[in-house]
Amino acid sequence: MMTEDLLEREFKPLSIELEYADEEDELREEVETSAAESAQRTKKERILELYGAGITDVAEIARRTPARPSYVAQVLQSAGLLDGYFDLYTTTAREQNVYSRFFRNVLSFRSVEAARESVRKIDRLYNYFERMGDRAGQHQAMVLALTGKNRARWSGKLEEAKVFDEWLASH
């Protein structure tokens, strides 16, 4: 068998990869068409329109609009159309679970001092849950600190992110 034959057989794309590539082309055409049609509408209006048309999956709406899933979820939640969606960028002011009320409005990274104050509050709650023997509560504290670290880091606030990172490293 020749080298070219081996390479062709070894590196031939899987059929699922080819189907996905075709799907991407179709999606790109659909987005370009809908972009031309909706040049007058905002992303928010397009998201609400798609939801109203019966497309309720956040990922599907994100695929059909030039928007991130977290933005789609925020728009739908603000309009009262979606409950129970949480990711790194959704607000911590909404109830996610039974621990949410303890951590409501605790997270801030406006400045290094605000990040330190957040970590102090998170640490107090972490210690409270530790005394109670509530590992899930401790875990929620760690998740909030990680959320603070990631949000700060992706916002370009590296010193603020470091404050959360140091707390996480010590727990």
Distance CA 6, CA 10 (A): 6
115 part of a folded domain = yes
pLDDT for 27 equals 53
Same domain for 104 and 73: no
Q: What is the pTM of this model?
A: 0.55
154 part of a folded domain = yes
Give the range of the structural domain holding residue 43, as residue numbers without chain letter: 14-78
114 part of a folded domain = yes
Same domain for 105 and 53: no
- Residue 108 contacts residue 164 (beta carbons within 8 Å): no
pLDDT in tens, 64-116: 998 888 788 889 988 888 877 766 555 555 666 778 888 888 999 999 999 99
Higher pLDDT, 57 or 17: 57
Same domain for 65 and 106: no
Residues 46, 49, 51: CA angle, nearest 5 degrees? 110
- Number of domains the chain contains: 2
Same domain for 160 and 107: yes
pLDDT in tens, 115-157: 999 999 999 999 999 999 999 999 999 999 999 999 999 999 9
